[in-house]
Amino acid sequence: MAKPLYIKNFIPNSICSFEYFNKLLENHPKENIHIIDNKRKKYDFSGETKNNQTYIIEDTVKSTMLKPIFFNIRDTLLNKFSELKNCIRWDAHFYGGFSSKSSTFNLHEDSSYTFILQCEGVCKWILPEHHEKILTTGDLLFLPKGVKHACIPMSKRISISFAFWEK
């Protein structure tokens, strides 16, 4: 089984600003936007954003707003990680929180190979069987499928999760 890998300064600067993230929130299909606020639920667009919520934008591959650089990153990951050779689909999920108090998922594992790219802010990643890592803008964390992990926001933040599935 592959081990988690941390790459400091994978990219030199942010590729997703809060301005871009807010445009995605406004223009992405509403059924593909969720929040974490004690539990995961559909985003209610009638209210104001709350500092204790994390916003998740999913199913972005078909989005006309997705920048070419996200496809370039996907291609780089596919070329550099042999674990991905049998993957048949991918997506980029955007996670944004407007304070260090934004809710996140509890400790869990994914069925995908996942790469976390820190775009804005700082997050602490807990990987109980491996290590803890602090991600800052430009850092990348590779989580092989089945690795338990949790994120603790340490500031206002945006992260992109590049997920690759074999089935």
**Tens-digit pLDDT profile for residues 28-83:** 888 888 887 655 455 455 555 566 788 888 888 878 888 999 999 999 999 999 99
Residues in the chain: 167
Q: pLDDT at position 18, please?
A: 92
Q: pLDDT at position 1, please?
A: 66
Q: What is the mean pLDDT of residues 107-111?
A: 92
Contact (Cβ atoms closer than 8 angstroms) between residue 147 and residue 127: yes
Q: pLDDT at position 37, please?
A: 66
Q: What is the mean pLDDT of residues 109-116?
A: 96
Contact (Cβ atoms closer than 8 angstroms) between residue 28 and residue 57: yes
Measured between alpha carbons, how far is residue 91 from residues 10, 44, 66, 97 in Å?
A: 19, 23, 11, 20
The pLDDT mean for the chain works out to 88
Percent residues over pLDDT 70 in the chain: 90
Q: pLDDT at position 49, please?
A: 56
Q: pLDDT at position 47, please?
A: 54
For 133, half-sphere exposure in the C-beta direction (CA atoms, 13 angstrom radius) is 20
Distance CA 4, CA 1 (A): 10
The single residue listed with the structure tokens 């969720």 is 34
Contact (Cβ atoms closer than 8 angstroms) between residue 119 and residue 159: yes
Written as six digits, the tokens of 156 are 């206002």
